[in-house]
Amino acid sequence: MTLPDTITGWDWRASAQRIWFLMRREFLAIWKDKRSRTVLILPPIIQLFVFSYAATFDVKNATLGILNEDNGPAGRELVARFSASGAFDPVARLTSVREIAPLIENEKALAVLHIGPTFSRDLLGARNTGRTAEIQFIVDGRHSNTALIANGYAGNIVEEFTASYAASQPGAVPRMMPRLVTHAWFNPNFESRWFIITGLVATLTMIVASVTTSLSVARERELGTFEQLLVTPLRPLEILVGKILPPAILALGEGILLALIGITIFGIPMRGDPLLIIAGLAVFMLSVTSLGVMISSLASTQQQAMISAFCFMMPAIILSGFATPIENMPEWLQVATYANPLRYMLVISRGVFLQDMPASLVLANIWPMAVIGVITASAAAWLFRNRLQ
Amino acid sequence: MTKKSGNKMIDKQRLTGFIRKEWLQIVRDPSSIVVAFVLPLILLFVFGYGVSLDSRNQPVAVVLETNAPEGRDFLASLRATRYLVPRLAVHRGEATTWLVSGDVKAIVLIGAEFGERLNGSVLPSQPGQAPVGAPIQVLINATDANTGRLLAGYVQGAWGTWLTHRSYTTATGLPTLVNVESRIWFNQELDSHKSIVPGLVAVVMTLIGALLTALVVAREWERGTMEALLTTPLTRAELLIGKLVPYFGLGMGGMTISVVVALILFGLPFRGSILLMVLSAAVFMLVVLGLGLAVSTITRNQFAASIIGITATMMPAVLLSGLIFDIRSMPKFIQLFTYVFPARYFVDILKSLFLVGNVWPVILPNLAALAFMATVFMTITVVKTRRTLD
Amino acid sequence: MNAAVTFRDLRKSFATEAGSTVALSGVNGAMAAGRVTGLVGPDGAGKTTLIRMLAGLLTPDSGSIELDRTARVAYMPQKFGLYEDLTVEENLTLYADLNGLDRTARETRFNELHKFTNLGPFTDRLAGKLSGGMKQKLGLACTLVVAPNILLLDEPSVGVDPLSRRELWQMVRALQETGITVLWSTAYLDEAERCDDVILLHDGAVLDQGSPAKLTERVDGAAWRALLPESNVRKRDLQRAAGRLPGVVDAQIRGRYLNVVMGQTGAAPDLSPIPALKGVTAERIAPRFEDTYLAALRGEGRATALARTHPDTPPTPKTNGVGQPVIETRDLTRRFGDFTAVDKVSFTVSGGEIFGLLGPNGAGKSTTFKMLCGLLPASGGEALVAGFDLGHARADARGRIGYMAQKFAYLGHLSVMQNMTFAGGVYGLSGKLLAERIEEALTTYNLHSYTDTPCSELPLGIKQRLALACAVLHRPAILFLDEPTSGVDPITRREFWGRINAMADEGVTVLVTSHFLDEAEYCDRMVIIYRGRLIAAGSPDEIKSAGGSKDGASLEEAFITLVENYDRDHPP
């Protein structure tokens, strides 16, 4: 037999055809496998629903113990304001200071409002004596954020109480009250859910994409089908494209589905250009699937691939700004987040959904993901042939 | 096989022989040691440093449209807080650009009439009415609702401090009528590490424990060694105990390391009793190992076991354990849902032991819940462990 | 003869995604006390299901098993549960503990077992580092820690080289002498002949049972052989021609002889229609066990597929490239760490040749094969296929070869059609041409009734046909086959080789690996690789004479001699 001696060069048509057939096979492989089909569709949707309700920083109906030692009207008025605020749910009326500690320690109440016996008197005299009336607000600090917010609510209630008290006093001089006017942009009611759902759209699709791809090569290696691919005319680059694109396309569809659920069911506004989200998601998915294929090519068994994928995903979710802001992390750790594609996608998702982020800014967050994708994809292609046994 | 009459449930020789084999396998294959000792440290670092709700040094744009000295004075007081880093913008447009791009989290707009209004030269049209238009506007990027709300609080705080300060220096401000003395118990400085790290130990050990055992029974099936074990008189109880004991040892080792690292690295107090800590850790370990064993026994397949393991532990560990989001703030039906996750009980116990002390009313019910879950998982494992291959 | 185990009308089905598959459909049989019973059948016949039922690990859907309640049954599964990360000693200790063997009795028993298995010097070696044969011996030792009355062995000789296989048989015979009843399951028909009794299983039903002698007696007078005259007609052409003669059910080349099995007993085959065999007369020989099996299957009408394998008109051999070197290795070497898996192997394969790469498992033939296919880079030397190193060759160079892996390498949940479309598509076939080729292959390989079946649900023989159909869809000039017939029944094997021969006639170069030495008779030339070295090369006849075998002897005997000689001259 003879082979042509002339170098024919790269035949893009033949190459495209091979990729096309490989992609068809990969689509079928994901779709026809009951297990991967289940992993792909159901869990992300369930998780979107559960987590969007679960992940809230809002403090509502925080349990409150009340110790009112004051007999005057001011004390009653203040207690009434706390009860009516909606932020607090009075669960216990205390009669002595000794009862405070066990109530909080045993988590029967998150906070205790303690109004001393002289409160009404002090308040009346405050204008003349210059002394202030004191109240105590004790919060369980075991959950620092809840404590912080509950403390803030208490401050607001007391402030409103003071303002209305001052205004209601007979002979009160109408004085100008210098006030701060606060506007919440993009999310006027401080809805935690808007923040979480726009984040989940990116995070859940990332999990789907990494789980499906990180198993793809490792599984084929175990089954022996990967060798069969390597002896065909498929080049490593073509295998790479054929392995990366199908899960990326499926996960992109998944992401769009989740975004639609967010918009229609949870009423998330879509203020920017939806095409920008899709563009961002597409590049994000490509970078995640490249990373997944790289992990998969490194691993020699499915188990290793799974643990490696876990070791990638867990930090990726934590160090992305998904649940807590990147700015709160130590400087050195903030630097590490630049290698995390999810970080950029979250900016795009939240930016386009809520802030009508301009295309130029979206682009500024797309290219780092593209760079991560190119690096991991090259590593994966190299590993195909050089990591055998 | 030859079911000899009087085959004891647990035979010392069989059990020790089986445990010895498990132990040898662990020692020979370093991967489970890595999972038990190295992975928790990595996760502890990532979570410990990565999850922080302490919003400090938030960048804020300040637009000064007035030349009044009060404006500069307020800017200085914004600078003085450790929470805010003000950046002066030339005009509103610039500040808005920064806000959208995420370079700043809020804009503080000090209007042209700031000085006049403040000094009362512009009066409200009717007595008792709030002044028309405010001297200071704060525009907050509330995309991140929590941070946004905290920021609003910080600016408000700075404003309040400035006003009080002013009332003393100029005698034109309002005297404060009521002073709220806030006491944040167990965590006075509201350091979020203190509330996160104890829970973190629980979450990390859930992941590790489940990961350790999720694969061990499935592995026996896949490698064909289970078939050979079934031909021996080994009982189900022995199989379960034999699998548990070595991994329990590993898990407790990992737990000790995590706790010690948490105490040292994040400077946490420990206010409870060590004995109680060990006891609840042991019960918790049984729960997560039991969970892993149950999954592994039911699936008999490493792939399915790991998929289930990951979906059942990873995201819930972050979102449903009470680590970041307070379970008490969740809607009731989600709260019910969280009872399924063992981590939440241990999180409660650990927070009390670290930050408060031996709070029996908190610890006992949680411990009871864990013991119940351990029993359930063990029972599932035993029931699902068949002596045949059907 | 009293039976140690009797089983009646055993039935068992397993649920699958598509419904259920029947593993056993009413199996009757018995194991005679104190004898070695062979459970013989191809992969998927139901051997493992039956053994697991006898061991008490599976409950039959219906039917009964009778055995003495006091008997101790020991069972060695196919993939015996050796812990590869434990040493020989630790594995033995584990099974001793689990079986309740106390410490004093243990020492004597271990000594006996070490002596019995020759594993004494290796007690501290990890089980994973043992050779296939040693693993099986250790598995047997673990099964025997407490002496059983009945011993069930599920395919103990899979993955074991001929030498170790012989040793395993010696061990089993020794056990039998102590009064143990043994069941030995196997897919190798030559092993069946060594058993006292045989249960022949096929597709979940018993085809036949009895002593091998009795079974072969039935085809007595149907087996014939003819000494081939010296001629320039290729042996495989003669074989094909003989296979089509009236009354002939099977024709095989055995060295210088043509062995023929007739459909009817008594009548000698008439070889005169074949010009090259004019005047050659056949002599009657004792039938082999395999012939019984073929006859039994034929009786059930299962062999129809065979007829289609031989084209009606002999193909015109293509001369294009025939005789020129197509595959060449020069001092090919592969090292893993300080272990040399392949050590300076050199050989040349000419165009149109069927070339065998033979050797026991772990000897280095798979490593050599992988280097040739470009799946593994060489540490030294060269492996050229059509002048290219396939590891770095351009895509079109790889497009010229076809490859069939040892394990079925097509996605199980995809249908036959989907896998074929992919296999053709990546080799550049598309549109009408692809559809035509697939249609042609479906017809040639008789796969039409399976087009939409998921591959995982295909019977083994069909899988094997599909794998070959996929490998040659793009009409490769060179075909690489890795252990293509392991575990398949003799009919499928014959069918397979019929196709390979036909392709070789069309000028396709075929490189095939096998540890199944009988199969080497189909090769034009071969090399034997042992301990990483090439220890013999040549035609089957040349190998046999190098091994000092007489005419008509099997290659396996020659092989054992060659290996023993090598071991003697090159002590490890």
- Tell me how far apart the alpha carbons of residues C112 and A92 are, in angstroms, rounded to a whole number: 79
For the ranges A295-309, B96-110, C39-53, C440-454, the lowest mean pLDDT is seen at A295-309
Q: Any idea how long chain B is?
A: 390
Percent of chain C's residues with pLDDT above 70? 92
**Average pLDDT for residues B250-263, to the nearest whole number?**
88
Residue C305 pLDDT exceeds 50: no
Task: Using an 8 Å CB-CB cutoff, list residues of chain C that contact chain B.
Answer: 52, 55-59, 71-86, 90, 93-100, 102, 126, 142-143
- Arithmetic mean of pLDDT over chain A: 84
Nearest residue in A to B98, CA atom: A361
Residue B128 pLDDT exceeds 60: no
Which residues of chain C does A15 touch, with a Cβ-Cβ cutoff of 8 Å? 395
Residue A177 lies in a domain: no
Tell me: do A134 and A254 sit in the same domain: no
Q: What is the pLDDT of residue A22?
A: 92
Check residue C71 and give left, alpha or beta (phi > 0: left; psi -120 to 50: alpha). Answer: beta
- Tell me how far apart the alpha carbons of residues B121 and B19 are, in angstroms, rounded to a whole number: 86
* Burial group, residue C278, by CB count within 10 angstroms (0-12, 13-18, 19+): exposed
Count of CB atoms situated within 10 Å of the CB of A60? 13
Most confident region among A360-374, B146-160, C259-273 by mean pLDDT: A360-374
Residue B344 pLDDT exceeds 80: yes
**Average pLDDT for residues C174-180, to the nearest whole number?**
89
For the ranges A51-65, C109-123, C308-322, C556-570, the lowest mean pLDDT is seen at C308-322
Partner-chain contact C414 A224, CB within 8 Å: no
Q: What is the pLDDT of residue C374?
A: 83
Domain segments of chain B as ranges: 12-51+191-384, 58-170
DSSP-assigned letters across all residues of A31-59: HH-HHHHHHHHHHHHHHHHHHHHH-----
User: pLDDT by residue (tens digit) across B155-191?
Assistant: 887 887 777 777 656 544 455 666 777 777 766 766 7
Q: Which chains touch A (3 or more CB pairs under 8 A)?
A: B, C
Tell me: do A138 and A227 sit in the same domain: no
**Average pLDDT for residues B344-357, to the nearest whole number?**
87
Q: What is the pLDDT of residue A170?
A: 62
| Residue entry with tokens 């007489």 | C550
Q: What is the pLDDT of residue B172?
A: 46
Residue B137 pLDDT exceeds 90: no
Report, in angstroms and rounded to the nearest whole number, the Rg of chain B calculated over CA atoms. 29
Q: What is the pLDDT of residue C417?
A: 93
Range of the domain at A82: 62-168
Tell me: do A260 and A203 sit in the same domain: yes
Q: What is the pLDDT of residue A245?
A: 93
Q: What is the pLDDT of residue C301?
A: 43
pLDDT band at A65; cut points 50, 70, 90: very high
Tell me: do A207 and A79 sit in the same domain: no
Distance from CA of C74 to the nearest CA of B (A): 7
Of A4, A7, A231, Cβ closest to residue C403: A231
DSSP B11: -
**Average pLDDT for residues B377-384, to the nearest whole number?**
87
- Tell me how far apart the alpha carbons of residues A38 and A44 are, in angstroms, rounded to a whole number: 10
Tell me: do A254 and A234 sit in the same domain: yes
Q: What is the pLDDT of residue C550?
A: 62
Closest CA to C325 of C391, C405, C392, C383: C383
Q: What is the pLDDT of residue A180?
A: 67
Tell me: do A330 and A348 sit in the same domain: yes
Tell me: do A51 and A106 sit in the same domain: no
Tell me: do A101 and A217 sit in the same domain: no
Of B306, B325, B355, Cβ closest to residue A54: B325
Beta strands C478-482; C509-514: pairing state: parallel
Percent of chain C's residues with pLDDT above 90? 19
Q: Which helix (H) or strand (E) holds C537?
A: strand C533-538
Report, in angstroms and rounded to the nearest whole number, the Rg of chain C calculated over CA atoms. 24
User: pLDDT by residue (tens digit) across B319-335?
Assistant: 887 777 888 778 888 88
Check residue B145 and give left, alpha or beta (phi > 0: left; psi -120 to 50: alpha). Answer: alpha
* Burial group, residue C436, by CB count within 10 angstroms (0-12, 13-18, 19+): exposed
Q: What is the pLDDT of residue C320?
A: 52
Nearest residue in A to C396, CA atom: A233
Distance from CA of C524 to the nearest CA of B (A): 39
Which residue, among C422, C438, C474, C478, would best test binding to A if mutated, counting the most A CBs under 10 Å from its CB?
A: C422
A9 touches C: beta carbon within 8 Å: no
Q: What is the pLDDT of residue A112?
A: 92
- State how many domains chain A has: 2
Residue A6 pLDDT exceeds 50: no
- Tell me how far apart the alpha carbons of residues A222 and A220 are, in angstroms, rounded to a whole number: 5
Domain containing A149 — which CATH number? 3.40.1710.10
User: pLDDT by residue (tens digit) across C178-204?
Assistant: 889 999 998 888 788 889 999 988 888
Q: Which residue has the higher pLDDT, A198 or B295?
A: A198
**Average pLDDT for residues A214-231, to the nearest whole number?**
82
User: For residue C332, which phi and psi values (nearest 5 degrees)?
Assistant: -65, 125
Tell me: do A284 and A359 sit in the same domain: yes
ipTM at complex level? 0.78
Bridge partners for A350 per DSSP: none
**Average pLDDT for residues A199-203, to the nearest whole number?**
93
Residue C131 pLDDT exceeds 50: yes
A154 touches B: beta carbon within 8 Å: yes
Of A107, A146, A303, Cβ closest to residue B362: A107
- Arithmetic mean of pLDDT over chain C: 83
Residues whose CB falls within 8 Å of the CB of residue A375, separated by 6 or more in sequence, listed in order: none
Q: What is the pLDDT of residue B119?
A: 64
Tell me: do A116 and A142 sit in the same domain: yes
User: pLDDT by residue (tens digit) across A89-146?
Assistant: 899 898 888 888 888 888 788 899 999 888 888 887 766 666 678 888 988 887 778 8
Residue B6 pLDDT exceeds 60: no
- Of A102, A136, A168, at which residue does a domain stop? A168
Residue A292 lies in a domain: yes
Hey, what are B121's tokens?
């030269």
Q: What is the pLDDT of residue B168?
A: 59
Residue A280 pLDDT exceeds 90: yes
Q: What is the pLDDT of residue C306?
A: 39
User: pLDDT by residue (tens digit) across C28-76?
Assistant: 999 998 999 999 888 778 888 999 999 888 889 999 998 887 888 999 9
Tell me: do A204 and A139 sit in the same domain: no
User: pLDDT by residue (tens digit) across B204-240?
Assistant: 888 788 777 777 777 787 777 888 888 888 888 888 8
Partner-chain contact A1 C386, CB within 8 Å: yes
Provide the CA B150 distance to its chain's centre, in angstroms. Answer: 19
Q: What is the pLDDT of residue C300?
A: 46
In CATH, what number does C3-209 get?
Answer: 3.40.50.300
Domain segments of chain C as ranges: 3-209, 218-302
Percent of chain B's residues with pLDDT above 90? 10
Residue A6 lies in a domain: no
Check residue C548 and give left, alpha or beta (phi > 0: left; psi -120 to 50: alpha). Answer: left
pLDDT band at A10; cut points 50, 70, 90: low
Residue A22 lies in a domain: no
Residue A150 lies in a domain: yes
Nearest residue in C to A230, CA atom: C375
In CATH, what number does C218-302 get?
Answer: 3.30.70.100
Distance from CA of A232 to the nearest CA of B (A): 28
DSSP, collapsed to helix, strand or coil, labels residue A102 as: helix
Which residues of chain A does B191 touch, with a Cβ-Cβ cutoff of 8 Å? 144
Residue A214 lies in a domain: yes
Q: What is the pLDDT of residue B303?
A: 67
Which residue, among A99, A127, A129, A142, would best test binding to B if mutated, counting the most B CBs under 10 Å from its CB?
A: A142
Nearest residue in C to A35, CA atom: C413
Q: What is the pLDDT of residue A359?
A: 92
Residue A10 lies in a domain: no
- Residue B120 · residue B170 · CB < 8 Å: no
- Arithmetic mean of pLDDT over chain B: 80
pLDDT band at C311; cut points 50, 70, 90: very low
Architecture of B58-170 per CATH?
3-Layer(aba) Sandwich (3.40)
